[in-house]
Amino acid sequence: MPSQTRNYKYVVLAVVTVLLTCLMSIAVKQGGKLDPAEGILRDLLAPLQKAALSLTHKINSSWQYWAQIRHFGEENARLKIEIARLKARENAAQEAWQENIRLRKLLNLPPAVQEFELLTARVVARDPSNWYNTLIIDRGLNANVEAGSVVLTNDGVVGRVKKASSRTAEVLLISDQRSAIGAMGQLSRDVGVLRGGDEGGNCRFVYLPRTTKVRPGEILITSGLGGNFPKGLVLGQVLEVCAEDYGLGKFARMEPAVDLDHLEEVFVIIGPRD
């Protein structure tokens, strides 16, 4: 009996392993497509995530407010309440003003982007795991956002859409270790591949020849090779140029032009401008 119990354990483990492996095989066969369960769950969670994120901003504002309040004396209590009311109003106005500034900045796009039809989207969630760098935006297939769509801000490229459900889309950031973009130096015109996954949220510009003219401080742009990204979009700035192992070539470390940790709104390219 004890050996039967022991075998039973491993049979159950084997069955679960086989089932999950089958699930993975089906998912791999489907490629970038989002399976229905994933799409439905993400669509259901999107409003909750949106609400939670807006709560975060409110908590942040309140926290900053209370940090300031501590420095005032108790005799000003009534005035503080009055100030609190005014602050709350001011916060709301400030939030609207800041949003206005951000949206105006977004509209001030480089010429390379102006030939495309753009759509604004809000960031509603981030990948909670440690392995990937992705975010969820509140636009999906219903708004013509599909897998492969390029996501950017006025500062530069954010990434590309990996999967889209009807109302949300998952964006693979350029700092994700799975990301690979055809890139080139704006001045040196040296062409290579920009890979994510470097330390500190930076990227690595690889496959450079030993004689590369890329230098620290140079801006990297998309090369247009590979067809996923239009040519000439800003990616970031070179921090340093290093020799590859065994000295066969060189690579450069690049800091993304976009502050990927503080994104609230982004643009999605949904097609050429008519």
- Quote the CA–CA distance of 227 and 248 in Å, as a whole number: 28
The correct pick among 120, 178, 207, 228 for binding another protein (CB under 8 A) is: 178
Q: Which is nearer to another protein, 113 or 124 (CB)?
A: 124
- Quote the CA–CA distance of 21 and 132 in Å, as a whole number: 21
- Cβ proximity of 165 and 39 under 8 Å: yes
Q: What stretches of 49-168 adopt beta strand conformation (E)?
A: 116-126, 134-137, 150-152, 157-164
Question: Segment contacting another protein (CB under 8 A): 26-34, 83-91, 100-108, 186-194?
Answer: 26-34
Question: Segment contacting another protein (CB under 8 A): 83-91, 105-113, 121-129, 152-160?
Answer: 121-129
3-state secondary structure of 50: helix
- Quote the CA–CA distance of 267 and 103 in Å, as a whole number: 10
The correct pick among 139, 160, 167, 195 for binding another protein (CB under 8 A) is: 195
The one-letter code for the residue type at 10 is Y
Question: Segment contacting another protein (CB under 8 A): 25-33, 100-108, 146-154, 242-250?
Answer: 25-33
The correct pick among 2, 3, 4, 9 for binding another protein (CB under 8 A) is: 9
3-state secondary structure of 203: strand
Question: Segment contacting another protein (CB under 8 A): 32-40, 73-81, 234-242, 243-251?
Answer: 32-40
The correct pick among 53, 84, 106, 241 for binding another protein (CB under 8 A) is: 53
The structure tokens listed for 156 are 């530069």
**Contact status: 261 vs another protein (CB under 8 A):** yes
Torsion of Cα atoms, 44 then 45 then 49 then 50, to 10°: -10
**Contact status: 28 vs another protein (CB under 8 A):** yes
**Contact status: 127 vs another protein (CB under 8 A):** yes
- Quote the CA–CA distance of 3 and 172 in Å, as a whole number: 48
Indicate the DSSP class of residue 12: H
Rounded to a whole number of angstroms, the minimum distance from the CB of residue 125 to another protein is 4
Helix, strand, coil percentages for the chain (3-state, nearest 5): 40, 30, 30
Q: Which is nearer to another protein, 116 or 196 (CB)?
A: 196
Rg (CA), the chain: 24
Q: Which is nearer to another protein, 59 or 187 (CB)?
A: 59
3-state secondary structure of 149: coil
Indicate the DSSP class of residue 176: S
**Contact status: 45 vs another protein (CB under 8 A):** yes
The correct pick among 144, 177, 202, 228 for binding another protein (CB under 8 A) is: 177
Q: Which is nearer to another protein, 34 or 113 (CB)?
A: 34
The structure tokens listed for 266 are 């982004």
Q: How many helices (H) and strands (E) does the chain have?
A: 4, 12
Q: Which of residues 200-219 bind another protein (CB under 8 A)?
A: none
The correct pick among 116, 118, 119, 132 for binding another protein (CB under 8 A) is: 132
Binding positions for another protein, rule: CB under 8 A: 9, 12-13, 16-17, 20-21, 23-24, 26-28, 35, 37-38, 41-42, 45, 48-49, 52-53, 55-56, 59, 124-132, 134, 136, 162-163, 170, 177-178, 195, 197, 199, 261
